[in-house]
Structure 1
Amino acid sequence: MRVALGIEYCGTAFHGWQSQAGGGTVQDALESALREIAGVPVGVMCAGRTDAGVHASHQVVHFETSVERPLTAWVRGVNSNLPAGVAVRWAQEVGDEFHARFSARGRRYRYLLLNRPQRPGLWAGRVGWFHGTLELAAMQEACGRLLGEHDFSAFRAAGCQAKSPVKTLSRAEVRQCGNMFVFDFEASAFLHHMVRNLVGTLVYIGKEAQSPGWIDELLQMKDRKLAAPTFSPDGLYFRGPIYEPHWGLPDPDDDFLDGLLK
Structure 2
Amino acid sequence: MNILIKITYDGTAYHGYQMQKNLKTVELELTKAISNTLKKKTKIYSAGRTDRGVHALGQYANFFADTTINIGNLPRVINFHLPSDISVVKAQIVDENFHARFSAKAKKYRYILYNSIYRNALYYNRAYQFPFKLNLHAMEKSFECLIGEHDFNAFMGRDAVVKDTIRNIYSIDIKKDGEFIYFDFYGKSFLKNMIRIIMGTALEIARGKFEPSYMEELLNSKKRAVAGPTAPASGLYLMDVIYLEDCLK
Aligned mates of 2:10, 2:194 — CA distance in 1: 20
Deviates more, 1:64-73 or 1:2-11: 64-73
Q: Per-residue CA shift, 1:203-240, capped at 9, x if unaligned?
A: 01110111111111011111000100111000100012
State the identity %: 35
Please name the residue that 1:202 is paired with: 202
Q: Which amino acid aligns with 1:20?
A: Q
Aligned mates of 1:166, 1:108 — CA distance in 2: 18
Q: Which amino acid aligns with 1:183?
A: F
Q: Secondary structure at the match of 1:79?
A: helix
Please name the residue that 1:45 is paired with: 45
Please name the residue that 1:28 is paired with: 28
Aligned mates of 2:213, 2:189 — CA distance in 1: 24
Please name the residue that 2:71 is paired with: 71
Q: Which amino acid aligns with 1:78?
A: I
What pairs up with 1:95-134 in 2 under 5 angstroms?
A: 95-134=95-134
Gaps of 5+ in 1: 250-262
Matched, 1:92 2:128: no
Q: Which amino acid aligns with 2:92?
A: Q
TM-score normalised by structure 2 residue count: 0.95
Aligned mates of 2:21, 2:73 — CA distance in 1: 28
Aligned mates of 1:23, 1:201 — CA distance in 2: 30
Q: Secondary structure at the match of 2:123?
A: coil
Aligned mates of 1:73, 1:38 — CA distance in 2: 13
Q: Give the deviation of 1:23 after TM superposition.
A: 4.2
TM-score normalised by structure 1 residue count: 0.91
Aligned mates of 2:219, 2:52 — CA distance in 1: 27
Aligned mates of 1:212, 1:176 — CA distance in 2: 19
Aligned mates of 1:105, 1:77 — CA distance in 2: 29
What pairs up with 1:116-155 in 2 under 5 angstroms?
A: 116-155=116-155
What pairs up with 1:217-232 in 2 under 5 angstroms?
A: 217-232=217-232
Q: Secondary structure at the match of 1:141?
A: helix
Aligned mates of 1:121, 1:135 — CA distance in 2: 26
Q: Secondary structure at the match of 2:48?
A: coil
Contact 1:113 1:180 in 2 (8 A): yes
Contact 2:95 2:248 in 1 (8 A): no
Q: How many residues align?
A: 249
Matched, 1:170 2:170: yes
Q: Which amino acid aligns with 2:84?
A: A
Aligned mates of 1:175, 1:93 — CA distance in 2: 35
Q: Give the deviation of 1:128 after TM superposition.
A: 1.0
Contact 2:51 2:192 in 1 (8 A): no
Q: Secondary structure at the match of 2:233?
A: coil
Structure-2 change in CA distance of 1:58 and 1:160 (3 Å): same
Give the ranges of 4+ consecutive aligned residues of structure 1 lying more than 3 Å apart after TM superposition.
none
Aligned mates of 1:61, 1:36 — CA distance in 2: 16
Matched, 1:187 2:187: yes
Contact 1:139 1:174 in 2 (8 A): no
Q: Give the deviation of 1:21 after TM superposition.
A: 2.8
Deviates more, 1:23-32 or 1:184-193: 23-32
Aligned mates of 1:8, 1:77 — CA distance in 2: 15
Q: Which amino acid aligns with 2:81?
A: N
Q: Which amino acid aligns with 1:57?
A: L
